[in-house]
Structure 1
Amino acid sequence: MGDTVELVAITRHNLAELLQLDAGDGGKQVAPNLKSMAQAAVYAEAWPRGIAVDGVLVGFLMLYDPSLTAQPEEPKFTLWRLMIDQRQQGRGYGAAAVQALIAHVRTRPGADTLYLSYVQDSANVAAAERFYRSQGFTPTGEIDDGELVMSLKL
């Protein structure tokens, strides 16, 4: 890959750039970034980050981090959103971002497992599972709100 992938804070300076990104799935696999940013504004547990390659946003992820508040809604660290712009997919940026997130979560108080879930009723379900397995996640056997749950022991 060779490009430097970083997780960067979303600020007033890069919000417009973030909102231009599009996963190309019509919102079927991952919610639009506008919805994610609205949720981040009202959930104290949200940790939204742009996925930047050499300073240019190519995607977005959001962690649900229960250590950010004294009374979290859920006690689990969860990869809440992951999207790579359709023009940037297939370049390894998603994998690099997930690995950067795993490294971050390992530094968080009380983090021993990272969870995620993904839509199961789509043509991309096998690809999603393959991708997350390649990052070290394994299926838990749980279904949450119609989505398959995977976890990674930290």
Structure 2
Amino acid sequence: MKQSVKLVEVNEENWYDCCQLTVSSEQASYIESNAISIAQSKFEPTLKPYAIYFEEKVVGFLMYNSVLEELDGYWVYRIMIDQAFQGKGIGKVATALMIDEMKKLPNAERIVVGYHPDNMEAHLLYASLEFVDQGHRFGREMAVVKQIK
């Protein structure tokens, strides 16, 4: 599975495919559209958007910030897998690949991700990758932390 998943920076060849990806209607309220995220990255150049490929097809999108933010961590801004490809372990492999990239950032000691407490898929994914709920809350989102040093 791992060799079938790769991350490619969003570019002129894959941005439109990223914008076409969808999540289930239950998940839609938890995440911004990929089009909004890609636009946001053009105005905030520290954000790093990536297409998630599975067997050479764009099946997901993720984005993280390359500067330290709250909790002295690097934040994951988005991660999604198209509804047709969910449940195959692609999201977990892609998140692990993203963590490997984030570990290379200067002074990387922790990675933080925020999500709505009712988003059980996100909770299970991040818990499986050793993100810990330390009680941090930002508005309607909870933030979980992974220590990497």
Q: Which TM-score applies when normalising by structure 1?
A: 0.87
Any idea what SS the aligned residue of 1:7 has?
strand
Distance 2:144 2:2 in 1: 29
Aligned sequence identity (%): 27
- Which of 130, 135, 141 aligns to 1:147? It is 141
Distance 1:138 1:90 in 2: 22
Distance 2:104 2:89 in 1: 24
How far apart are 1:130 and its partner, in Å? 2.0
Distance 1:128 1:46 in 2: 20
How far apart are 1:54 and its partner, in Å? 2.1
Q: Which runs of 5+ in 1 are unaligned?
A: 68-72
Distance 2:36 2:2 in 1: 31
Q: Label 1:17 to 1:112 Cα distance change in 2 as closer, same or farther (>3 A).
A: same
Name the structure where helix makes up a greater proportion of residues.
2
Question: Would you say the 8 A contact 2:73–2:109 is kept in 1?
Answer: no
Question: Would you say the 8 A contact 1:49–1:60 is kept in 2?
Answer: yes
Q: Which TM-score applies when normalising by structure 2?
A: 0.90
Instruction: Identify the residue that residue 118 of structure 1 maps to in structure 2.
Output: 115
CA RMSD of aligned residues (A): 1.7
- 2:95 pairs with 1:98: yes
Q: Which runs of 5+ in 2 are unaligned?
A: none
Any idea what SS the aligned residue of 2:13 has?
coil
Q: Deviations over 1:84-130 (max 9, x none)?
A: 0000000001000110011111111111100001012x3xx333222
Moved more, 31-40 or 9-18: 9-18
Distance 1:55 1:7 in 2: 10
Q: Deviations over 1:58-94 (max 9, x none)?
A: 0000011107xxxxx7653011101000000000010
Paired residues, number:
146
